Structure 1
Amino acid sequence: MARMRYGARTDAEIAATRAAGGRLPDIWSTGVVALWETDPDAVAAVLPPPLTPTGRPLVRATISAVNLPGYPLGAGSVAVAAAHDGIEGWYPLVMPMTHERALTGGREVFGEPKKLGEVTVVRDGLTVRAALARHGIAFVEVRGAVSGPLPLPEPEVRYDFYFKFLPAVDGSGFDGDPLLVHCRRTEKVRRLERITGDVVLRESMYDPVADLPVRTLVGITLGEKTSDQSGEVVGRVRAEDLLPYVHQRYDDPGQVHDAPPEGSA
């Protein structure tokens, strides 16, 4: 019988796949990062417990073109500053990706709120435009011009916080208590420039980041960066604490509560 590609893989094949994944070279991206202060109450309102606000109501939009060999990727994130157990980091609300391949590991392994979307980073001379779009709406757009180089920072450790969960089969709650994940990234920068410009937030019922308005623009940069990441489950979260926030993960707020089709076994 011919080899069935859906069939079980051998131990050697599984080991080879793991070994190949462990030898990945640095993958560099070119991206825009916009940082702004918004309303403190708005940040507090979007943070599921046990996450808490930090001393500054910051929002961070990252819009990047990732140089994956033979598989270019657009990747983005809109996150708010958050803290947990003495660690300050970021809680991403939405992470648009241009390919499904980029969704799988992030959502299934780490619990990242990734969704398919359009990610644009364009530089024309000194002019820069970067945007995140879904359902035909560019809900975040950063526009500006390069105004000069910035000193390269030392490698920086940054934390993101994720909730990993599966909606229950019967449409009520979760299949087990959700997990709180700390994702630790070490970021290296080889080029960094200052952008003079602005951030435009557009109304979208699917990605309502316009609820986090730009009160004070802290800064915009254009850089070439690479990072590694590792995740750690730091605890379980009570289902009743997270359920009111689960709609953040879905375009249809009622999707997480869908019951099985009528007549299903």
Structure 2
Amino acid sequence: MARVRYGARTEDEIRAARTASSRLPDIWSTGVVAVWESDPDAVAAVLPPPLKPAGDSLVRANISRVDLPGYPLGAGSVAVSAVHDGLSGWYPLVMPMTQERALIGGREVFGEPKKLGEVTVERDGLVVRASLARHGIAFVEVRGAVDSVLPLPEPTEKVDFYFKFLPAVDGEGFDADPVLVHCVRNEKVRRLERITGDVVLRESMYDPVADLPVRRLVEITIGEKTTDQRGRVAERVSARDLLPYIHQRYDDPQQILDGPPAGSV
């Protein structure tokens, strides 16, 4: 009988696949990063416990074109600064990806809030435009022009915080205790330029990053970077504390039922 590819793999085959995946070459991306100061109350409101505000109320949009072997990938994220157990990092609220292959692994392994979307990075001479779009709405757009070349930073370690969980089969709570994941990335940069421009946030009921307004633009850059990543479970978290935030992971039309902020007219 011919090999049935959905059948069980041998231990040797599993080991060979794991070894091959651990030897991937550096994968470089061209990406636009915009960082801005936002409303401190808004940033604090999106952080599930035990994450705490970092004190600087920063929001970061990362919009990249990734040179993956075999197919192009657009990858992006919108994240807020946060602290856990004395460690500073970023808590991504949404991570649009243009390919399902990039979507599945990140969600299942690390708990990344990845969703299918449109990711655009365009450059014409010095003029740059980058955007994240879903459901026909470019909910983040970065526009500007390169004004200078920046010195290359040393390799840097960066941390993202994710919550990994499985909603319960019966629709009530989770199937197991959720966990907080520290995802550590080692980043190398081979080109970095500064952009003078602006950030436009557009209203979207599914990706409401417009609730994190640009109070002061800190920086916009475009660069060529490569990263690796590894994750670890930092702690198990309270299901009761996390439940009010799990709609962040999904396109939840029931958000239309959310009440107005306290004290609004």
**TM-score bracket for this pair, using the shorter chain length:** over 0.9
Partner residue, 1:250: 250
Contact 2:205 2:253 in 1 (8 A): no
Q: Which one-letter code corresponds to 2:209 in the other structure? A: V
Give 1:106-255 correspondences, 5 Å limit: 106-252=106-252
For residues 114 and 63 of structure 2, the distance between their equivalents in structure 1, rounded to whole angstroms, comes to 13
1:253 to partner: Cα distance: 5.2
1:13 to partner: Cα distance: 1.2
For these two proteins, the number of residue pairs brought into alignment is: 255
For residues 162 and 3 of structure 2, the distance between their equivalents in structure 1, rounded to whole angstroms, comes to 39
For residues 95 and 253 of structure 2, the distance between their equivalents in structure 1, rounded to whole angstroms, comes to 17
SS class of match (2:61): strand
Partner residue, 1:81: 81
Runs of 4 or more, structure 1, over 2 Å off, are: none
Q: Which one-letter code corresponds to 1:61 in the other structure? A: A
For residues 25 and 253 of structure 2, the distance between their equivalents in structure 1, rounded to whole angstroms, comes to 39
1:234 to partner: Cα distance: 0.9
1:71 to partner: Cα distance: 1.3
Contact 1:247 1:254 in 2 (8 A): no
Q: Which one-letter code corresponds to 1:197 in the other structure? A: G
- The unaligned stretches of length 5 or more in structure 1 are 256-265
For residues 32 and 53 of structure 1, the distance between their equivalents in structure 2, rounded to whole angstroms, comes to 24
1:191 to partner: Cα distance: 0.1
For residues 72 and 113 of structure 1, the distance between their equivalents in structure 2, rounded to whole angstroms, comes to 20
1:100 to partner: Cα distance: 0.3
SS class of match (2:52): coil
Q: Which one-letter code corresponds to 2:19 in the other structure? A: A
What's the CA shift string for 1:27-70, capped at 9, x where partnerless? 00000000000000000000000000012000000000000012
What's the CA shift string for 1:83-124, capped at 9, x where partnerless? 000000000000000000001110000000000000000000
SS class of match (1:151): coil
Q: Which one-letter code corresponds to 2:197 in the other structure? A: G
Aligned-residue identity in percent: 80
